[in-house]
Amino acid sequence: MNRIEIRDESCKGCQYCVIFCPRELVQIDKGRINALGYNPARFVDNPDRPCRGCALCAEICPDALIEVYRKEKGRS
């Protein structure tokens, strides 16, 4: 149930998040063109290999568009 939020109206479709998500949960939305004229990235969770909340996608997004939500660990 971890998840990410992409501010997709500002996304430039560079695909870095797509390339680096270890779970392949980010895709380029070919069916949409945002106001900037790009096909934005989209988070598509997959129950088989759910989001780790690892934030690699966020780390690599050069436009700082990704927020990551993680379920609290027991201990912390």
Partner 1 sequence: MALTKVFTRPDSLRDLDFHFCPGCHHGTAHRLICEAIDYHGIKKKTIGIPGVGCGVFLYNYFDLDVCEAPHGRAPAVATGFKRVLPQNIIFTYQGDGDLGSIGMSEIIHTANRGENITVFFINNSVYGMTGGQMAPTTLPGQKTTTTPYGRDFRTEGYPIRMTEMLAPLEGVAFAARVSLHTPSQVKKARKAVLRALDIQLKNGGFSFVEFLCACPTNWGLSPRQCIEKIDKEMLQAFPLGTYKDRQGS
Q: Which residues bind partner 1 (CB under 8 A)?
A: 1-3, 10, 12-16, 19-20, 36, 38, 53, 55-64, 66-72
Q: Which of 9, 16, 32, 75 binds ligand SF4 (CB under 6 A)?
A: 16
Amino acid letter at 35? A
> Binding to ligand SF4 by residue 39, rule CB under 6 A?
no
- Taking CA 42 as the corner, what is the angle to CA 38 and CA 45, rounded to the nearest 5 degrees? 170
- In 3-state terms, what secondary structure has residue 6? strand
Residues that bind ligand SF4 (CB under 6 A): 4, 6, 11-17, 21-23, 25-26, 41, 51-57, 61, 63, 65-66, 68
